[in-house]
Amino acid sequence: MPYKLLIALGAGLVSATVFASATTGPLLVRIVLFLLTPLALFLAGLGIGPLAAAIAGIAGTALVFAAGSSTAALIFAASQALPVVVLAHLASLNRQSPGKTEWYPIGRIVLAAALMAAVFSMLTLFLLGGDVETLRATLRTMLESFIQTELAKIPDAPALDSKEIDEVTSVTLALLPAASAISTMGSLLFNMWLAGRITLASGRLQRPWPDLAAITYPPGTPLMLAAATTAAFLSGLLGLIASGFAGPLFLAYVLMGLAVVHYITRGRPWRPFALWAIYAALFIVNTVASLAVAILGLTESIWPLRKMVQPPSEPPNS
């Protein structure tokens, strides 16, 4: 059996094991494990090729299914295996032009991750219930279970009565589509970046490291964000689905705003202070700071700051 096939099967085994482990243990550990589930798949896809990612994804899905849960296997395939295969395939696409090789743009890969995360969010809504009332009832049951099993372990945790649980359920239902899509997109992109750095360091990365600070999106992307955000104010299931699309598209423009900051501060003596300040603001006052950074990213599509500022030459990965 070729070693590349063995590596792919091993990556699928590792990813499925991490995915299964994310269902047990302390809450924080589960969150970290779920975040890192696609890493092994990305290592196979970026280090060997998209076919290896596909084999790893199929192997991982089969292992989760063999463990006795068809629903978990579907979730693994939809949220981990399929997106990794698609993103690894896009990352490997290239075409020859006179004197150089052109690789698939990173901005379009970010958008692909956003759209796949949105579709997974929509599938999650249908999996939990096909209408708003069913979704509300399902979420309330899940929240009651969480309160009994997890919240009870926290010392001095407040006790919630039935009315308060209903209020928390309503807030959770409103935030769930966007939050789940943003977390899925963030996990995919973080693991793709981490796998890229690892394979680059090992000399196995299948493409040159891109200039992440120079990413661009197709011209119609702001209109997609505007349409999804507007539709998110609709009532019922349609509004929830639109919210699931608006969330990751918003994150895409947060990333664009950060790219602009990284680009225009290159070579400046105050660069470390600016970057530390903006990331600290995102951590401390997340909502306000992320909105400001996203607006900067949207402004770039109308008034391209990076074309107006010519920073000193630096390596693309700096």
| pLDDT value for 180 | 92
Average pLDDT, the chain: 88
Provide mean pLDDT across the span 95-121: 92
Q: pTM for the whole thing? A: 0.90
Nearest to 52 by CA among 75, 85, 22: 85
| pLDDT value for 153 | 63
Provide mean pLDDT across the span 269-275: 91
| pLDDT value for 266 | 87
For the stretch 139-192, pLDDT in tens is 888 887 777 666 666 666 666 667 777 888 888 888 889 999 999 999 999 999
For every residue of 38-58, DSSP letters joined together read: THHHHHHHHHT-HHHHHHHHH
Rounded distance, CA 255 to CA 107, Å?
10
Which tokens in the block code for residue 266? 């290159």
Which tokens in the block code for residue 58? 């199929």
Checking if the pLDDT of 25 tops 70, the result is no
Helix or strand or coil: residue 103?
strand
Checking if the pLDDT of 315 tops 70, the result is no
Helix or strand or coil: residue 152?
helix
| pLDDT value for 56 | 95
Nearest to 24 by CA among 72, 77, 81: 72
Question: What whole-number percentage of the chain has pLDDT above 90?
Answer: 55
Provide mean pLDDT across the span 215-237: 93
pLDDT bracket for residue 314 (50, 70, 90): low
> Which residues have CB under 8 Å from 240's CB, separation 6+?
125, 132, 135, 173, 174, 176, 177
For the stretch 231-252, pLDDT in tens is 999 988 999 999 999 999 999 9
